A and B are shown apart, each in its own frame.
Chain A
């Protein structure tokens, strides 16, 4: 693995499987009476959040604390950033405080890359979402959730809603994943396309033409404008949130029309194969991209994804900070003596 986690595209198949397999072990710690490991004792993780977030920040905080790291939460609101401090000066401050890892969320695409390559800090940088660019740990937790449901049965197949299984060592080869909605503004979609492609899945993006980014034809995925035509051959369908805060132009005529053409309701869910799961990265706009009936059904993994997020982020922090350098995914078979 590289020293920083900036983009899901940086992860090789071995890196991704190492993270997912490590997350599987971390998830088992969550079932113990004492959900704590001493592994990162004495390490400092800074959550540097320039943009609002509940679940991602809490998830990283829980992950770091379960590994016994010290956590410093830094949000732009109420800090010197609101007085005009630059990213550089903020970074130098964090470096002076001895941050071993900086988890950064920023409204500008590329801010984590700038932080990682600037030489301002020595620690690892983990991208927790930058603008409309990437959100790699979300893609990892989505892949982890898919693997548990679609490759979690003892024979490597889907679990058919009998609860998540154990997909250790497996990838997502041949699984058909459909990502629906506001791809244009979605860092989740971009990271998922890269990671799922690395893991061997076949991704189809479904969105109105106005909500697809320029250059999407170069992405390693299929593109469709018609949700109904792809549902029957989807192993998982991921509904993206319609990002009202970024909707500064008329991307679709009315919310009602969007919901009718691209929203997932019970009728559309019934068209999915029996084993297929419905995913949502949250927060959900009930009645917009997903109806309450679908969101509350047993096929929807939205709540489970949040729990898996802690396990995946524990795995990422452990593999980046657990040793004197990040884990070497090619050395996995080496004796653990």
Chain B
């Protein structure tokens, strides 16, 4: 076997699928939160922030009200900081009215080990006390290492650990899609 052959990359969600999935999640949020009038959407950088903004637009279409949307950088709460060089920070941007007593919906692109969400819950703890915290993800690829699950899932994607899941969004990558690939260096057999 040759290791350096181009790894096969297969799109599992295309732009129209992502749009439909976000519309469905927005409706689910409105249904579960009984109108979504105290919802605050917080995206986890980088792509969670774009997804949160898109969800806010969909919620505005459904409810006719503006939903506060922000960003929550979790870098300084990560449990793997000492496994690599110090990381650059991303912007944390909490909407003006804060999160106290609100229903915070965390938004991320891929749910994998659950460690990012654990860090996000710690970060939230230093910012305020929400009424409840929920989690919306575009893709749940399994392999959880912590007792964490998503409340709203765009697509459940059973994967093996050899595989990679890459989300691309127009705001950051020029196009919308979810790509399933194979880790470089791992073999098919």
Contact = CB atoms under 8 A, between A and B. Distances in A.
B73 interface: yes
Contact of B87 (A21, A168, A320, A323): A323
B68 interface: no
Interface in B48-96: 73, 75-77, 81-92
A324 interface: yes
Nearest to B125: A34
B33 interface: no
Contact of A323 (B77, B85, B128): B85
Interface residues of A, number: 28
A39 B81 contact: yes
A162 interface: no
Interface string B2-24: 00000000000000000000000
Contact of A336 (B83, B87, B92, B126): B87
From DSSP, what is the main secondary structure of chain A's interface residues?
Answer: loop
B134 interface: no
Nearest to B46: A336
Interface in A25-80: 25, 28, 32-34, 36-39
A195 B89 CA distance: 22
B84 A323 contact: yes
B88 A332 contact: yes
Contacts of A216: none
Interface in B22-60: 45-46
A22 B85 contact: no
A335 B87 contact: no
B127 interface: yes
A36 B123 CA distance: 10
Nearest to A39: B76
A322 B86 contact: yes
A321 interface: yes
Given A38-B76, A39-B76, A322-B81, A32 B88 contact: no
Contact of A324 (B76, B84, B91): B84
Closest 5 CB pairs of A and B: A322-B86, A323-B86, A327-B86, A39-B76, A25-B89
Interface of A: 18, 21-22, 25, 28, 32-34, 36-39, 168, 318-328, 331-332, 335-336
11 contacts: A21-B88, A21-B89, A37-B76, A39-B77, A318-B76, A320-B86, A322-B86, A324-B84, A331-B85, A336-B75, A336-B88
